[in-house]
Structure 1
Protein backbone atom coordinates (compact mmCIF):
# COMPACT_ATOMS: atom_id res chain seq x y z
CA UNK A 1 0.00 0.00 0.00
CA UNK A 2 1.46 3.35 -1.07
CA UNK A 3 -0.11 6.62 0.08
CA UNK A 4 0.71 9.84 -1.75
CA UNK A 5 0.34 13.35 -0.42
CA UNK A 6 0.20 16.35 -2.74
CA UNK A 7 -0.08 19.65 -0.83
CA UNK A 8 -0.53 21.72 -4.01
CA UNK A 9 -2.50 19.59 -6.54
CA UNK A 10 -3.86 20.83 -9.84
CA UNK A 11 -6.00 20.19 -12.85
CA UNK A 12 -3.68 19.93 -15.86
CA UNK A 13 -4.96 21.12 -19.23
CA UNK A 14 -2.69 20.14 -22.15
CA UNK A 15 -2.96 21.49 -25.69
CA UNK A 16 -1.12 19.81 -28.58
CA UNK A 17 -0.39 21.82 -31.73
CA UNK A 18 2.09 22.01 -34.56
CA UNK A 19 3.90 25.20 -33.62
CA UNK A 20 3.11 27.82 -30.99
CA UNK A 21 3.12 31.35 -32.41
CA UNK A 22 3.18 33.94 -29.59
CA UNK A 23 0.82 36.86 -30.04
CA UNK A 24 -1.37 34.99 -32.54
CA UNK A 25 -4.47 32.80 -32.35
CA UNK A 26 -3.25 29.20 -32.06
CA UNK A 27 -5.55 26.25 -32.70
CA UNK A 28 -4.91 22.98 -30.92
CA UNK A 29 -5.05 19.68 -32.76
CA UNK A 30 -5.79 17.85 -29.51
CA UNK A 31 -6.41 18.75 -25.89
CA UNK A 32 -6.95 16.83 -22.67
CA UNK A 33 -7.66 17.41 -18.99
CA UNK A 34 -5.85 15.32 -16.39
CA UNK A 35 -5.64 15.30 -12.61
CA UNK A 36 -2.29 16.82 -11.72
CA UNK A 37 0.28 17.40 -9.06
CA UNK A 38 3.33 15.23 -8.48
CA UNK A 39 1.85 12.94 -5.85
CA UNK A 40 -1.39 12.65 -7.81
CA UNK A 41 0.62 11.48 -10.83
CA UNK A 42 2.45 8.92 -8.66
CA UNK A 43 -0.92 7.51 -7.54
CA UNK A 44 -2.15 7.41 -11.14
CA UNK A 45 0.95 5.51 -12.27
CA UNK A 46 0.73 3.10 -9.34
CA UNK A 47 -2.93 2.40 -10.10
CA UNK A 48 -2.12 1.78 -13.76
CA UNK A 49 0.45 -0.79 -12.60
CA UNK A 50 -2.05 -2.53 -10.31
CA UNK A 51 -0.79 -1.26 -6.93
CA UNK A 52 -3.01 -0.11 -4.07
CA UNK A 53 -2.79 3.62 -3.43
CA UNK A 54 -4.62 6.48 -1.77
CA UNK A 55 -4.13 10.13 -2.77
CA UNK A 56 -4.21 12.57 0.14
CA UNK A 57 -4.68 16.19 -0.91
CA UNK A 58 -6.32 19.52 -0.09
CA UNK A 59 -9.19 20.34 -2.44
CA UNK A 60 -11.28 23.46 -2.92
CA UNK A 61 -13.88 24.87 -5.30
CA UNK A 62 -15.29 23.35 -8.47
CA UNK A 63 -11.81 22.58 -9.76
CA UNK A 64 -11.10 20.57 -6.62
CA UNK A 65 -14.34 18.66 -6.98
CA UNK A 66 -13.54 17.86 -10.61
CA UNK A 67 -10.05 16.71 -9.66
CA UNK A 68 -11.47 14.28 -7.10
CA UNK A 69 -14.04 13.01 -9.61
CA UNK A 70 -11.33 12.39 -12.23
CA UNK A 71 -9.21 10.46 -9.75
CA UNK A 72 -12.09 8.30 -8.55
CA UNK A 73 -13.05 7.58 -12.17
CA UNK A 74 -9.56 6.08 -12.54
CA UNK A 75 -10.05 3.85 -9.51
CA UNK A 76 -7.96 5.92 -7.10
CA UNK A 77 -9.07 6.36 -3.50
CA UNK A 78 -9.12 10.04 -2.48
CA UNK A 79 -8.70 11.36 1.06
CA UNK A 80 -9.30 15.11 0.96
CA UNK A 81 -9.13 18.08 3.27
CA UNK A 82 -11.63 20.76 2.27
CA UNK A 83 -10.01 24.18 1.87
CA UNK A 84 -11.47 27.61 1.25
CA UNK A 85 -9.36 28.41 -1.83
CA UNK A 86 -9.82 26.94 -5.30
CA UNK A 87 -7.57 24.13 -6.53
CA UNK A 88 -5.27 25.53 -9.21
CA UNK A 89 -5.44 24.85 -12.96
CA UNK A 90 -2.17 24.49 -14.91
CA UNK A 91 -1.76 24.72 -18.70
CA UNK A 92 0.78 22.96 -20.93
CA UNK A 93 1.32 23.58 -24.64
CA UNK A 94 3.04 20.72 -26.44
CA UNK A 95 4.43 21.37 -29.93
CA UNK A 96 5.19 18.73 -32.56
CA UNK A 97 8.89 19.55 -32.20
CA UNK A 98 8.83 18.27 -28.63
CA UNK A 99 8.95 21.76 -27.12
CA UNK A 100 6.74 22.13 -24.06
CA UNK A 101 5.52 25.44 -22.63
CA UNK A 102 4.04 25.25 -19.14
CA UNK A 103 2.05 27.82 -17.18
CA UNK A 104 1.68 26.78 -13.55
CA UNK A 105 -0.74 28.67 -11.34
CA UNK A 106 0.34 29.70 -7.85
CA UNK A 107 -2.46 27.83 -6.14
CA UNK A 108 -4.45 28.58 -2.99
CA UNK A 109 -3.04 29.65 0.36
CA UNK A 110 -3.69 27.16 3.16
CA UNK A 111 -4.63 28.37 6.61
CA UNK A 112 -2.97 27.05 9.76
CA UNK A 113 -6.09 24.97 10.46
CA UNK A 114 -6.05 23.49 6.94
CA UNK A 115 -2.35 22.69 7.25
CA UNK A 116 -2.90 20.94 10.58
CA UNK A 117 -5.86 19.02 9.15
CA UNK A 118 -3.71 17.74 6.30
CA UNK A 119 -1.07 16.43 8.72
CA UNK A 120 -3.75 14.91 10.93
CA UNK A 121 -5.39 13.15 7.99
CA UNK A 122 -2.13 11.33 7.26
CA UNK A 123 -1.29 10.62 10.87
CA UNK A 124 -4.70 9.45 12.07
CA UNK A 125 -6.19 7.77 9.02
CA UNK A 126 -3.29 6.27 7.07
CA UNK A 127 -0.29 5.41 9.23
CA UNK A 128 -0.14 2.05 10.92
CA UNK A 129 -2.73 0.50 8.57
CA UNK A 130 -0.52 -1.57 6.29
CA UNK A 131 1.03 1.43 4.56
CA UNK A 132 4.46 0.58 3.14
CA UNK A 133 5.39 3.95 1.67
CA UNK A 134 4.20 7.53 1.87
CA UNK A 135 5.25 9.60 -1.12
CA UNK A 136 5.35 13.35 -0.38
CA UNK A 137 5.52 15.19 -3.65
CA UNK A 138 5.63 18.65 -5.12
CA UNK A 139 5.92 22.23 -4.03
CA UNK A 140 4.38 23.50 -0.82
CA UNK A 141 1.45 25.88 -1.24
CA UNK A 142 1.39 29.31 0.32
CA UNK A 143 0.77 29.09 4.03
CA UNK A 144 2.94 26.02 4.62
CA UNK A 145 6.41 26.63 6.08
CA UNK A 146 9.46 24.94 4.50
CA UNK A 147 9.65 22.70 7.59
CA UNK A 148 6.20 21.20 6.89
CA UNK A 149 7.61 18.19 5.05
CA UNK A 150 10.22 17.66 7.80
CA UNK A 151 7.42 17.41 10.36
CA UNK A 152 5.56 14.98 8.14
CA UNK A 153 8.66 12.79 7.66
CA UNK A 154 9.09 12.57 11.44
CA UNK A 155 5.45 11.59 11.92
CA UNK A 156 5.59 8.96 9.18
CA UNK A 157 8.69 7.33 10.63
CA UNK A 158 7.11 7.22 14.07
CA UNK A 159 4.21 5.34 12.48
CA UNK A 160 6.50 2.73 10.94
CA UNK A 161 6.13 3.59 7.26
CA UNK A 162 8.88 4.63 4.86
CA UNK A 163 8.85 7.99 3.13
CA UNK A 164 9.79 9.15 -0.35
CA UNK A 165 10.23 12.88 -0.83
CA UNK A 166 10.11 14.64 -4.18
CA UNK A 167 10.44 18.37 -3.62
CA UNK A 168 13.09 21.06 -3.95
CA UNK A 169 14.57 24.22 -2.49
CA UNK A 170 14.18 25.04 1.22
CA UNK A 171 11.55 22.32 1.72
CA UNK A 172 14.00 19.63 0.56
CA UNK A 173 16.88 20.98 2.63
CA UNK A 174 14.73 21.29 5.76
CA UNK A 175 13.53 17.70 5.47
CA UNK A 176 16.94 16.04 5.07
CA UNK A 177 17.72 16.02 8.79
CA UNK A 178 14.53 13.97 9.36
CA UNK A 179 16.18 11.20 7.26
CA UNK A 180 13.66 10.49 4.49
CA UNK A 181 14.10 7.00 3.06
CA UNK A 182 14.54 8.32 -0.48
CA UNK A 183 14.62 11.75 -2.10
CA UNK A 184 14.17 12.24 -5.85
CA UNK A 185 15.76 15.44 -7.13
CA UNK A 186 16.39 16.20 -10.78
CA UNK A 187 19.63 17.70 -12.05
CA UNK A 188 18.60 21.31 -11.46
CA UNK A 189 17.32 20.53 -7.97
CA UNK A 190 20.58 18.75 -7.14
CA UNK A 191 22.58 21.78 -8.23
CA UNK A 192 20.36 24.11 -6.21
CA UNK A 193 20.63 21.93 -3.12
CA UNK A 194 24.45 21.83 -3.10
CA UNK A 195 25.00 25.34 -4.49
CA UNK A 196 27.19 24.41 -7.45
CA UNK A 197 26.78 23.33 -11.11
CA UNK A 198 26.12 19.70 -12.01
CA UNK A 199 27.79 19.32 -15.41
CA UNK A 200 28.81 15.64 -15.46
CA UNK A 201 27.51 12.34 -14.13
CA UNK A 202 30.31 12.51 -11.57
CA UNK A 203 29.10 15.91 -10.40
CA UNK A 204 25.65 14.41 -9.90
CA UNK A 205 27.12 11.50 -7.91
CA UNK A 206 29.00 13.94 -5.66
CA UNK A 207 25.92 16.12 -5.15
CA UNK A 208 23.73 13.11 -4.35
CA UNK A 209 26.37 11.90 -1.91
CA UNK A 210 26.23 15.26 -0.16
CA UNK A 211 22.45 14.92 0.27
CA UNK A 212 23.05 11.52 1.84
CA UNK A 213 25.54 13.02 4.26
CA UNK A 214 22.87 15.55 5.24
CA UNK A 215 20.38 12.80 6.05
CA UNK A 216 18.77 11.28 2.95
CA UNK A 217 19.02 7.49 3.13
CA UNK A 218 18.83 7.10 -0.66
CA UNK A 219 19.00 9.58 -3.53
CA UNK A 220 17.20 8.74 -6.77
CA UNK A 221 18.49 11.45 -9.10
CA UNK A 222 16.88 12.09 -12.47
CA UNK A 223 19.25 13.38 -15.14
CA UNK A 224 16.63 13.77 -17.87
CA UNK A 225 17.70 12.31 -21.19
CA UNK A 226 21.01 11.31 -19.57
CA UNK A 227 19.42 8.68 -17.32
CA UNK A 228 19.13 8.23 -13.56
CA UNK A 229 21.33 7.57 -10.54
CA UNK A 230 20.61 5.68 -7.35
CA UNK A 231 23.01 6.54 -4.53
CA UNK A 232 22.50 4.44 -1.38
CA UNK A 233 24.36 2.78 1.46
CA UNK A 234 24.06 -0.56 -0.34
CA UNK A 235 25.76 0.78 -3.48
CA UNK A 236 25.64 3.25 -6.34
CA UNK A 237 24.05 2.54 -9.72
CA UNK A 238 23.53 4.39 -13.00
CA UNK A 239 20.95 3.58 -15.64
CA UNK A 240 19.57 4.79 -18.94
CA UNK A 241 16.64 4.02 -21.22
CA UNK A 242 16.89 5.50 -24.74
CA UNK A 243 13.74 7.08 -26.17
CA UNK A 244 13.24 7.62 -29.91
CA UNK A 245 10.97 10.65 -29.57
CA UNK A 246 9.61 12.66 -26.64
CA UNK A 247 5.92 13.56 -26.85
CA UNK A 248 5.49 15.13 -23.39
CA UNK A 249 7.68 15.03 -20.31
CA UNK A 250 4.91 16.22 -17.96
CA UNK A 251 4.78 13.77 -15.07
CA UNK A 252 7.66 11.60 -16.33
CA UNK A 253 9.57 12.01 -13.07
CA UNK A 254 6.45 11.10 -11.12
CA UNK A 255 6.03 7.95 -13.21
CA UNK A 256 9.66 7.10 -12.44
CA UNK A 257 9.08 7.45 -8.70
CA UNK A 258 5.99 5.24 -8.95
CA UNK A 259 8.00 2.59 -10.77
CA UNK A 260 10.74 2.78 -8.15
CA UNK A 261 8.37 2.42 -5.19
CA UNK A 262 6.26 -0.23 -6.88
CA UNK A 263 9.42 -2.32 -7.37
CA UNK A 264 10.31 -2.18 -3.69
CA UNK A 265 12.02 1.19 -3.39
CA UNK A 266 15.65 0.07 -3.24
CA UNK A 267 18.38 -1.53 -5.32
CA UNK A 268 19.15 -1.78 -9.04
CA UNK A 269 15.88 -3.57 -9.88
CA UNK A 270 13.89 -0.63 -8.54
CA UNK A 271 16.11 1.78 -10.49
CA UNK A 272 15.43 -0.22 -13.67
CA UNK A 273 11.69 -0.01 -13.02
CA UNK A 274 11.96 3.75 -12.50
CA UNK A 275 13.74 4.14 -15.84
CA UNK A 276 11.22 1.98 -17.70
CA UNK A 277 8.30 4.00 -16.33
CA UNK A 278 9.92 7.36 -17.07
CA UNK A 279 10.83 6.37 -20.62
CA UNK A 280 7.30 5.18 -21.28
CA UNK A 281 5.75 8.34 -19.83
CA UNK A 282 7.60 10.76 -22.11
CA UNK A 283 6.20 8.94 -25.15
CA UNK A 284 2.58 9.48 -24.04
CA UNK A 285 0.44 12.62 -24.45
CA UNK A 286 -0.02 15.21 -21.71
CA UNK A 287 0.48 13.72 -18.28
CA UNK A 288 -0.84 10.28 -19.17
CA UNK A 289 0.75 7.68 -16.90
CA UNK A 290 2.08 4.46 -18.45
CA UNK A 291 0.42 1.07 -18.05
CA UNK A 292 2.43 -2.18 -18.04
CA UNK A 293 1.86 -2.61 -21.78
CA UNK A 294 3.66 0.71 -22.41
CA UNK A 295 6.87 -0.40 -20.68
CA UNK A 296 9.96 -1.67 -22.47
CA UNK A 297 12.19 -3.19 -19.76
CA UNK A 298 14.56 -4.62 -22.39
CA UNK A 299 15.60 -1.07 -23.36
CA UNK A 300 16.82 -0.30 -19.82
CA UNK A 301 20.49 -0.63 -18.90
CA UNK A 302 21.60 -0.41 -15.25
CA UNK A 303 25.21 -0.67 -14.14
CA UNK A 304 27.39 -0.16 -11.08
CA UNK A 305 30.14 1.03 -13.44
CA UNK A 306 29.14 4.69 -13.42
CA UNK A 307 30.52 6.90 -16.26
CA UNK A 308 31.68 9.68 -13.97
CA UNK A 309 33.32 11.78 -16.70
CA UNK A 310 30.30 11.76 -19.02
CA UNK A 311 29.04 15.31 -19.61
CA UNK A 312 25.35 15.96 -19.13
CA UNK A 313 23.39 17.36 -22.06
CA UNK A 314 21.72 20.74 -22.00
Structure 2
Protein backbone atom coordinates (compact mmCIF):
# COMPACT_ATOMS: atom_id res chain seq x y z
CA UNK A 1 0.00 0.00 0.00
CA UNK A 2 1.14 3.53 -0.77
CA UNK A 3 0.22 6.09 1.90
CA UNK A 4 -0.05 9.72 0.86
CA UNK A 5 0.02 12.69 3.20
CA UNK A 6 -1.37 16.09 2.24
CA UNK A 7 -0.98 18.69 4.98
CA UNK A 8 -2.69 21.42 2.93
CA UNK A 9 -5.44 19.79 0.79
CA UNK A 10 -8.09 21.71 -1.12
CA UNK A 11 -11.34 21.69 -3.01
CA UNK A 12 -10.45 22.55 -6.61
CA UNK A 13 -12.89 24.24 -8.97
CA UNK A 14 -11.79 24.30 -12.62
CA UNK A 15 -13.39 26.59 -15.21
CA UNK A 16 -12.76 26.48 -18.96
CA UNK A 17 -12.75 29.92 -20.63
CA UNK A 18 -12.17 30.96 -24.25
CA UNK A 19 -9.66 33.62 -23.23
CA UNK A 20 -8.59 35.07 -19.91
CA UNK A 21 -9.11 38.84 -20.11
CA UNK A 22 -8.33 40.86 -17.02
CA UNK A 23 -11.20 43.08 -15.81
CA UNK A 24 -13.85 41.46 -18.03
CA UNK A 25 -16.87 39.30 -17.20
CA UNK A 26 -16.04 35.83 -18.51
CA UNK A 27 -18.41 32.95 -19.21
CA UNK A 28 -17.18 29.46 -18.51
CA UNK A 29 -17.66 26.85 -21.20
CA UNK A 30 -17.29 24.02 -18.70
CA UNK A 31 -16.61 23.48 -15.03
CA UNK A 32 -15.82 20.72 -12.59
CA UNK A 33 -15.03 20.31 -8.89
CA UNK A 34 -12.36 17.86 -7.80
CA UNK A 35 -10.55 16.93 -4.60
CA UNK A 36 -7.25 18.81 -4.55
CA UNK A 37 -3.78 18.74 -3.06
CA UNK A 38 -0.69 16.93 -4.32
CA UNK A 39 -0.93 13.87 -2.10
CA UNK A 40 -4.66 13.61 -2.69
CA UNK A 41 -4.01 13.61 -6.44
CA UNK A 42 -1.35 10.93 -6.11
CA UNK A 43 -3.83 8.69 -4.28
CA UNK A 44 -6.56 9.42 -6.83
CA UNK A 45 -4.24 8.49 -9.70
CA UNK A 46 -3.10 5.31 -7.97
CA UNK A 47 -6.67 4.24 -7.22
CA UNK A 48 -7.77 4.96 -10.80
CA UNK A 49 -5.14 2.44 -11.91
CA UNK A 50 -5.90 -0.24 -9.34
CA UNK A 51 -3.05 0.46 -6.89
CA UNK A 52 -3.91 0.20 -3.19
CA UNK A 53 -3.50 3.56 -1.49
CA UNK A 54 -4.60 5.52 1.56
CA UNK A 55 -4.85 9.31 1.74
CA UNK A 56 -4.22 11.06 5.07
CA UNK A 57 -5.00 14.73 5.50
CA UNK A 58 -6.38 17.36 7.89
CA UNK A 59 -9.87 18.63 7.10
CA UNK A 60 -11.99 21.41 8.53
CA UNK A 61 -15.14 23.43 7.89
CA UNK A 62 -17.72 22.96 5.15
CA UNK A 63 -14.99 22.70 2.52
CA UNK A 64 -13.34 19.93 4.51
CA UNK A 65 -16.63 18.04 4.57
CA UNK A 66 -16.99 18.58 0.83
CA UNK A 67 -13.45 17.31 0.22
CA UNK A 68 -14.10 14.14 2.21
CA UNK A 69 -17.37 13.60 0.32
CA UNK A 70 -15.66 14.05 -3.06
CA UNK A 71 -12.97 11.54 -2.14
CA UNK A 72 -15.59 9.12 -0.85
CA UNK A 73 -17.47 9.35 -4.13
CA UNK A 74 -14.28 8.31 -5.94
CA UNK A 75 -13.71 5.44 -3.52
CA UNK A 76 -10.47 6.78 -2.06
CA UNK A 77 -9.51 5.21 1.28
CA UNK A 78 -9.26 8.40 3.33
CA UNK A 79 -8.34 9.29 6.90
CA UNK A 80 -9.36 12.90 7.58
CA UNK A 81 -8.07 14.37 10.83
CA UNK A 82 -10.40 17.15 12.09
CA UNK A 83 -8.91 20.63 12.53
CA UNK A 84 -10.49 23.91 13.59
CA UNK A 85 -9.53 25.83 10.45
CA UNK A 86 -11.32 25.74 7.09
CA UNK A 87 -9.92 23.62 4.27
CA UNK A 88 -8.88 25.89 1.41
CA UNK A 89 -10.52 26.28 -2.00
CA UNK A 90 -8.56 26.79 -5.22
CA UNK A 91 -9.70 28.08 -8.61
CA UNK A 92 -8.23 27.09 -11.98
CA UNK A 93 -8.95 28.94 -15.23
CA UNK A 94 -8.04 26.86 -18.29
CA UNK A 95 -7.80 28.27 -21.83
CA UNK A 96 -8.12 26.21 -25.04
CA UNK A 97 -4.38 26.39 -25.82
CA UNK A 98 -3.56 24.70 -22.51
CA UNK A 99 -2.67 27.87 -20.61
CA UNK A 100 -3.70 27.49 -16.98
CA UNK A 101 -4.12 30.26 -14.40
CA UNK A 102 -4.46 29.17 -10.78
CA UNK A 103 -5.57 31.08 -7.70
CA UNK A 104 -4.66 29.12 -4.56
CA UNK A 105 -5.69 30.03 -1.03
CA UNK A 106 -2.94 29.75 1.60
CA UNK A 107 -4.84 27.22 3.68
CA UNK A 108 -5.79 27.15 7.37
CA UNK A 109 -3.29 27.60 10.14
CA UNK A 110 -2.60 24.38 12.05
CA UNK A 111 -1.67 24.33 15.70
CA UNK A 112 1.22 22.25 17.00
CA UNK A 113 -1.30 19.87 18.56
CA UNK A 114 -3.15 19.42 15.26
CA UNK A 115 0.07 18.85 13.35
CA UNK A 116 1.09 16.23 15.92
CA UNK A 117 -2.28 14.50 15.61
CA UNK A 118 -1.91 14.19 11.84
CA UNK A 119 1.69 12.99 12.29
CA UNK A 120 0.57 10.28 14.72
CA UNK A 121 -1.97 8.99 12.19
CA UNK A 122 0.72 8.92 9.49
CA UNK A 123 3.15 7.00 11.70
CA UNK A 124 0.45 4.49 12.62
CA UNK A 125 -0.25 3.87 8.91
CA UNK A 126 3.41 3.51 7.88
CA UNK A 127 4.74 0.02 7.23
CA UNK A 128 8.37 -1.09 6.74
CA UNK A 129 9.32 -1.25 3.08
CA UNK A 130 6.20 0.59 1.90
CA UNK A 131 6.00 4.13 0.53
CA UNK A 132 4.82 7.11 2.54
CA UNK A 133 4.55 10.08 0.22
CA UNK A 134 4.36 13.57 1.76
CA UNK A 135 3.20 16.04 -0.86
CA UNK A 136 2.48 19.73 -1.22
CA UNK A 137 3.09 22.82 0.84
CA UNK A 138 2.98 22.96 4.60
CA UNK A 139 0.08 25.02 5.95
CA UNK A 140 0.71 28.12 8.04
CA UNK A 141 1.48 27.27 11.65
CA UNK A 142 3.50 24.07 12.13
CA UNK A 143 7.18 24.53 12.71
CA UNK A 144 9.71 23.04 10.34
CA UNK A 145 11.40 21.05 13.15
CA UNK A 146 8.11 19.16 13.67
CA UNK A 147 8.03 18.25 9.99
CA UNK A 148 11.67 17.14 10.08
CA UNK A 149 10.97 14.98 13.13
CA UNK A 150 8.15 13.30 11.24
CA UNK A 151 10.45 12.57 8.30
CA UNK A 152 13.10 11.10 10.60
CA UNK A 153 10.59 8.93 12.46
CA UNK A 154 9.16 7.60 9.21
CA UNK A 155 12.61 6.66 7.92
CA UNK A 156 13.50 5.10 11.28
CA UNK A 157 10.29 3.04 11.10
CA UNK A 158 11.53 1.42 7.89
CA UNK A 159 9.06 3.18 5.62
CA UNK A 160 10.26 4.42 2.24
CA UNK A 161 9.80 8.20 2.36
CA UNK A 162 9.10 10.35 -0.69
CA UNK A 163 8.77 14.14 -0.43
CA UNK A 164 7.16 16.28 -3.13
CA UNK A 165 7.22 19.79 -1.73
CA UNK A 166 9.02 23.11 -2.06
CA UNK A 167 11.27 25.45 -0.14
CA UNK A 168 12.28 24.48 3.37
CA UNK A 169 10.03 21.40 3.42
CA UNK A 170 11.72 19.95 0.32
CA UNK A 171 15.16 20.61 1.79
CA UNK A 172 14.06 18.93 5.04
CA UNK A 173 13.21 15.82 3.05
CA UNK A 174 16.64 15.96 1.42
CA UNK A 175 18.52 16.48 4.69
CA UNK A 176 16.73 13.69 6.51
CA UNK A 177 17.54 11.21 3.74
CA UNK A 178 14.23 10.67 1.96
CA UNK A 179 14.42 7.80 -0.51
CA UNK A 180 12.92 10.04 -3.20
CA UNK A 181 12.26 13.73 -3.71
CA UNK A 182 10.26 15.07 -6.66
CA UNK A 183 10.69 18.78 -7.32
CA UNK A 184 9.48 20.58 -10.43
CA UNK A 185 11.78 22.98 -12.27
CA UNK A 186 10.93 26.00 -10.10
CA UNK A 187 11.24 24.04 -6.85
CA UNK A 188 14.55 22.55 -7.94
CA UNK A 189 15.94 25.97 -8.85
CA UNK A 190 14.85 27.36 -5.48
CA UNK A 191 16.44 24.43 -3.66
CA UNK A 192 19.90 25.08 -5.13
CA UNK A 193 19.56 28.85 -5.36
CA UNK A 194 20.24 29.13 -9.10
CA UNK A 195 18.27 29.38 -12.33
CA UNK A 196 18.01 26.33 -14.57
CA UNK A 197 18.32 27.00 -18.30
CA UNK A 198 19.49 23.69 -19.76
CA UNK A 199 19.18 19.97 -19.25
CA UNK A 200 22.69 20.01 -17.84
CA UNK A 201 21.63 22.56 -15.22
CA UNK A 202 18.80 20.24 -14.13
CA UNK A 203 21.07 17.20 -13.91
CA UNK A 204 23.65 19.06 -11.81
CA UNK A 205 20.93 20.39 -9.51
CA UNK A 206 19.57 16.87 -9.00
CA UNK A 207 23.06 15.66 -8.21
CA UNK A 208 23.40 18.40 -5.61
CA UNK A 209 20.26 17.18 -3.83
CA UNK A 210 21.53 13.60 -3.90
CA UNK A 211 24.85 14.71 -2.45
CA UNK A 212 22.93 16.51 0.32
CA UNK A 213 21.10 13.34 1.35
CA UNK A 214 18.28 12.37 -1.03
CA UNK A 215 18.32 8.81 -2.31
CA UNK A 216 16.90 9.66 -5.74
CA UNK A 217 15.65 12.83 -7.42
CA UNK A 218 12.82 12.83 -9.95
CA UNK A 219 12.52 16.29 -11.52
CA UNK A 220 9.34 17.05 -13.47
CA UNK A 221 9.91 19.61 -16.23
CA UNK A 222 6.52 20.08 -17.91
CA UNK A 223 6.82 19.93 -21.69
CA UNK A 224 10.54 19.17 -21.27
CA UNK A 225 9.69 15.81 -19.70
CA UNK A 226 11.47 14.55 -16.61
CA UNK A 227 14.93 13.72 -15.27
CA UNK A 228 15.70 10.87 -12.88
CA UNK A 229 19.01 10.85 -10.99
CA UNK A 230 19.75 7.96 -8.64
CA UNK A 231 22.60 5.66 -7.66
CA UNK A 232 22.59 4.05 -11.12
CA UNK A 233 23.07 7.30 -13.04
CA UNK A 234 20.89 9.68 -15.03
CA UNK A 235 17.81 9.07 -17.16
CA UNK A 236 15.82 11.60 -19.16
CA UNK A 237 12.44 11.18 -20.78
CA UNK A 238 9.77 13.05 -22.71
CA UNK A 239 6.10 12.34 -23.43
CA UNK A 240 4.58 14.70 -26.05
CA UNK A 241 0.96 15.85 -25.62
CA UNK A 242 -0.83 16.88 -28.81
CA UNK A 243 -3.88 18.50 -27.22
CA UNK A 244 -3.15 19.78 -23.68
CA UNK A 245 -6.18 20.74 -21.58
CA UNK A 246 -4.89 21.26 -18.03
CA UNK A 247 -1.50 20.91 -16.37
CA UNK A 248 -3.06 20.78 -12.88
CA UNK A 249 -2.02 17.57 -11.17
CA UNK A 250 0.25 16.40 -14.01
CA UNK A 251 3.30 16.21 -11.74
CA UNK A 252 1.26 14.32 -9.17
CA UNK A 253 0.17 11.80 -11.80
CA UNK A 254 3.80 11.43 -12.92
CA UNK A 255 4.87 10.65 -9.35
CA UNK A 256 2.01 8.18 -8.92
CA UNK A 257 2.91 6.32 -12.10
CA UNK A 258 6.59 6.25 -11.12
CA UNK A 259 5.77 4.73 -7.72
CA UNK A 260 3.25 2.28 -9.16
CA UNK A 261 5.90 0.92 -11.55
CA UNK A 262 8.46 0.29 -8.84
CA UNK A 263 10.08 3.73 -8.48
CA UNK A 264 13.29 2.65 -10.20
CA UNK A 265 14.80 2.73 -13.68
CA UNK A 266 13.52 3.17 -17.21
CA UNK A 267 10.25 1.30 -16.75
CA UNK A 268 9.17 3.45 -13.81
CA UNK A 269 10.19 6.71 -15.49
CA UNK A 270 8.31 5.77 -18.67
CA UNK A 271 5.19 4.87 -16.71
CA UNK A 272 5.35 8.12 -14.76
CA UNK A 273 5.64 10.09 -17.99
CA UNK A 274 2.65 8.24 -19.47
CA UNK A 275 0.50 9.06 -16.46
CA UNK A 276 1.64 12.70 -16.43
CA UNK A 277 0.95 13.17 -20.15
CA UNK A 278 -2.49 11.61 -19.76
CA UNK A 279 -3.31 14.04 -16.93
CA UNK A 280 -2.39 17.01 -19.15
CA UNK A 281 -4.88 15.74 -21.74
CA UNK A 282 -7.75 15.70 -19.22
CA UNK A 283 -9.84 18.60 -17.86
CA UNK A 284 -9.33 20.17 -14.44
CA UNK A 285 -7.47 17.97 -11.99
CA UNK A 286 -8.99 14.72 -13.17
CA UNK A 287 -6.56 11.83 -12.76
CA UNK A 288 -6.02 9.34 -15.61
CA UNK A 289 -7.10 5.70 -15.63
CA UNK A 290 -5.85 2.84 -17.80
CA UNK A 291 -7.99 3.90 -20.79
CA UNK A 292 -6.34 7.34 -20.80
CA UNK A 293 -2.74 6.11 -21.00
CA UNK A 294 -0.68 6.17 -24.18
CA UNK A 295 2.80 4.71 -23.82
CA UNK A 296 3.76 4.65 -27.53
CA UNK A 297 5.21 8.18 -27.80
CA UNK A 298 7.44 8.08 -24.73
CA UNK A 299 11.19 8.38 -25.27
CA UNK A 300 13.67 7.43 -22.53
CA UNK A 301 17.35 8.21 -23.02
CA UNK A 302 20.61 7.75 -21.11
CA UNK A 303 22.51 9.82 -23.65
CA UNK A 304 22.56 13.32 -22.24
CA UNK A 305 22.44 16.44 -24.37
CA UNK A 306 23.54 18.61 -21.47
CA UNK A 307 23.53 21.84 -23.48
CA UNK A 308 19.92 21.40 -24.67
CA UNK A 309 17.97 24.46 -23.51
CA UNK A 310 14.72 23.96 -21.64
CA UNK A 311 11.74 24.92 -23.74
CA UNK A 312 9.30 25.80 -20.98
CA UNK A 313 9.60 28.85 -18.79
CA UNK A 314 11.09 28.54 -15.37
1:111-166: per-residue Cα shift (whole Å, max 9, x none)? Answer: 11101101111112x023x7711110000001122334322221111222101110
Partner of 2:178: 180
Q: Which residue pairs with 2:25 in the alignment?
A: 25
Distance 1:115 1:20 in 2: 38
More moved, 30-39 vs 300-309: 300-309
Aligned-residue offset at 1:202: 0.4
**Unmatched segments (≥5 aa) in structure 1:** none
| Corresponding position of 1:112 | 112
> 1:239–1:271: 8 Å Cα contact kept in structure 2?
yes
Q: Moved runs in structure 1, 4+ residues, more than 4 A? A: none
TM-score by length of 2: 0.97
Matches within 5 A, 1:44-83: 44-83=44-83
Quote the offset at 1:22 in angstroms: 1.7
Alpha-carbon distance, 1:186 to partner: 0.9
Task: Quote the Cα distance in structure 2 between the aligned partners of 1:212 and 1:56.
Answer: 27
Shift of 1:174: 2.3
Structure-to-structure mapping, 1:155-304, within 5 angstroms = 155-304=153-302
Separation in 2 of the partners of 1:42 and 1:131?
19
Q: Is the Cα–Cα contact under 8 Å of residues 238 and 303 in structure 1 kept in the other structure? A: yes
2-structure distance, mates of 1:151, 1:222? 27
Give the distance between the partners of 1:174 and 1:160, measured in 2 at CA: 18
Shift of residue 87, structure 1, vs aligned partner: 0.3
CA distance in 2: counterparts of 1:137 and 1:248, whole angstroms:
20
- Tell me if structure 1 keeps the 8 A contact 2:173–2:181: no
Number of residue pairs the alignment of both structures matches: 312
SS of 1:35 mapped into structure 2: strand
Q: TM-score, with normalisation over the residues of structure 1?
A: 0.97
Q: Distance in 1 between matches of 2:129 and 2:158?
A: 9
